[in-house]
Structure 1
Amino acid sequence: MSKIYVLHENDEWTIHLTKRLDELYLPYEVWHLNEGLVDLTEEPPEGVFYSRMSASSHTRGNRYAPEFTETVLAWLERHGRKVFNGTRALRLEVSKVNQYTALHGVGIQTPKTIAAAGKKQIIEAAEKMGEKSFITKHNRAGKGLGVQLFHSIDSLKQYIEGDDFEEPVDGITLIQQYIQSPEPYITRCEFVGGKFVYAVQVDTSEGFELCPADACQLGDQFCPADGGEEEEKAKFQIVENFQDPIIAAYEKFLLDNQIAVAGIEFIRDENGIIYTYDINTNTNYNADAEAKYGKYGMLELAVFLEQELNKLGHIPALSRS
């Protein structure tokens, strides 16, 4: 019997999806891909496969989960299985350089960025950047890894030579133009099945100025997967009837890059220009913001996977509570 297969490395994030799959009485199986084996001489099972592999897996002790996941995805794709967020999506997830080059290729604006390998080269990149203010971040990131704001080359040198310097897991540090927004928020657009679901504004007024990226960098209380304390809940607000030409550009980008599920983040500068700076193919949702809006990302995703499973001949459940 065909079923839904969820490929991941983090139980705490995945349980929000499996709860929705249970509510819809859908047959599914969860593959935790921190370790395992793949017999390339065998065929994979029939079904719908959805990857939630994260670029930050190494921060949870799952250093090689993305590499093993790519092995599994290549095996699935080789045998023609229905895969969502496959190898192309994974390569974008684990490399912001891949993201930016792909975005540039279709004319979507990103902040000016220089990639550097080596401490000396990081400083050289900042000097070449020629910006009064700039940020650093890791190429393979998530959770705001390596994100720092600098207003001078001297302060960067102190960081690079100090004990607080974070070595990127892939050895690549990005030096990026700092975009100053007149409003204290960034916008994250959520897509399921390659189609726009909603946009959420993330308040960046309290300690979030270091980078308009990855709300999780401030700790779990600011993570989109967790509402946090009562006073923090308003940090995530879904925008009613959000409309912008960038949505059509994002949908085409997702289609061209074989990405079914993603959260894409952008910031506007003082001239209203949109800079896209992050694509999250392992997207999470804020429960409190969704409850106020009445739309639920994980439910949308579960329904999408159900529809795709039905195309393989799955017989829907007769009743649902």
Structure 2
Amino acid sequence: MHDLAIFYEHPAWFASLFAALDARGVDYVRIGIEGHRFDPAGAPPPARVVFSRLAMSSFLRSPDHAIYYAHALFAHWAGQGARVINGADVLAVDANKARQLALITSLGLAVPATRVVHRSVDIIAAAAELRYPLVVKANVGGSGAGIMRYDTPAELAVAVADKFLPTSIDGVLLVQEYVPARDGVITRIETLDRRYLYALDVAGGGAFDLCPADACVADGKPITMTKVDPDATLIDAAERIAAAAGLDIGGVEVMIDDRDGTPRFYDINALSNFVAKPLDVLGWDPHERLVDYLVAEIERGK
């Protein structure tokens, strides 16, 4: 049995991780999600430690995504004794924005005012309880997918009547007040082992896709990233969110509401494929810290 298995979907996002593992001589195997299958009555785990690199945006790249498949797979491997990093419990939070917001508010932290519906016909009634402009977003999203903005009740009414709305692969939608982010930036706070790793201010010129990773930046999207040292209260909040979500590695996103100065947390992302050109942006490579963590998890399991 291998020490480590990387269960991944995107063909380009993890070259830096693989290179860091190779450089350290870690015994690992790469397992692509496409075409994967398992026997629930057998199929032992491929390694002592399994690291999930499953992106919620995978449904954009293939209708045969593994988001729900992985719930059963990770639980099966864990039941057979494997240490699954960002396993089934974390995936259940990562793949459910409504659950993320409920978790965040349970910690006494602010989120954008939101109503959750499971039928599009209920969107108008939900929106009547909120301030415009607002957005309707998919409960399962990624890379800004499934978000549409509506500035007036009339505009939303036309969209509902014409069914010009986002869709979510689980049928659940969020109706949410559009938060004007101070200075047009959101802050993404990355955590490792539930502790602060680094943070970025990300600006996208009003776009909803603010993915900072290599493959996203390579797509030519107008994203600017700046290393920041957030206020200690924001770091503490992100660490509490990570702990409550059981997040082994992941990002927490927050924006300062320009209307009243309130920090509003709105997304928990378990992928954390790290910033593009980390030496230029951060001055150090977070993959080294990640490999330290993976090696420690391997040793702990021996």
TM-score under structure 2 normalisation? 0.90
Asked if 1:281 is matched to 2:232, the reply is no
Instruction: Give the direction of change, closer, same or farther, for the CA distance of 1:128–1:292 in structure 2 (3 Å limit).
Output: closer
Instruction: Give the direction of change, closer, same or farther, for the CA distance of 1:303–1:48 in structure 2 (3 Å limit).
Output: same
RMSD in angstroms over aligned alpha carbons? 2.4
* Cα displacement (A) at 1:83: 1.6
Alignment counterpart, residue 297 of structure 1, candidates 278, 286, 293: 286
Secondary structure at 1:80's aligned position in 2?
Answer: coil
Does the 8 A contact of 2:148 with 2:165 survive in 1?
Answer: no
* Cα displacement (A) at 1:224: 5.8
Alignment counterpart, residue 307 of structure 1, candidates 292, 296, 301: 296
Does the 8 A contact of 1:116 with 1:174 survive in 2?
Answer: yes
Secondary structure at 2:187's aligned position in 1?
Answer: strand
* Cα displacement (A) at 1:137: 0.9
Instruction: Give the direction of change, closer, same or farther, for the CA distance of 1:121–1:258 in structure 2 (3 Å limit).
Output: same
Question: Which stretches of structure 1, 4 residues or longer, exceed 6 Å deviation after superposition?
Answer: none
Aligned to 1:252: 240
Does the 8 A contact of 2:136 with 2:165 survive in 1?
Answer: no
Instruction: Give the direction of change, closer, same or farther, for the CA distance of 1:181–1:80 in structure 2 (3 Å limit).
Output: same
* Cα displacement (A) at 1:187: 0.3
Instruction: Give the direction of change, closer, same or farther, for the CA distance of 1:161–1:63 in structure 2 (3 Å limit).
Output: farther
User: In 1, Cα distance between the equivalents of 2:221 and 2:166?
Assistant: 31
TM-score under structure 1 normalisation? 0.85
Secondary structure at 1:282's aligned position in 2?
Answer: coil
Percent identical among aligned pairs is: 24
The Cα offsets for residues 164-200 of structure 1, whole Å up to 9 and x where unpaired, read as: 5332222112110121233121100011222111110
Asked if 1:65 is matched to 2:66, the reply is yes
Letter in 2 for 1:102: L
Letter in 2 for 1:191: T
Letter in 2 for 1:91: A
Alignment counterpart, residue 267 of structure 1, candidates 255, 259, 280: 255
User: In 2, Cα distance between the equivalents of 1:120 and 1:46?
Assistant: 47
Instruction: Give the direction of change, closer, same or farther, for the CA distance of 1:275–1:224 in structure 2 (3 Å limit).
Output: farther
Instruction: Give the direction of change, closer, same or farther, for the CA distance of 1:141–1:231 in structure 2 (3 Å limit).
Output: closer
Q: Number of aligned pairs? A: 300
Instruction: Give the direction of change, closer, same or farther, for the CA distance of 1:149–1:175 in structure 2 (3 Å limit).
Output: same
Gaps of 5+ in 2: none
Asked if 1:20 is matched to 2:8, the reply is no
Aligned to 1:140: 140
* Cα displacement (A) at 1:157: 2.4
Asked if 1:104 is matched to 2:105, the reply is yes
* Cα displacement (A) at 1:18: 1.3
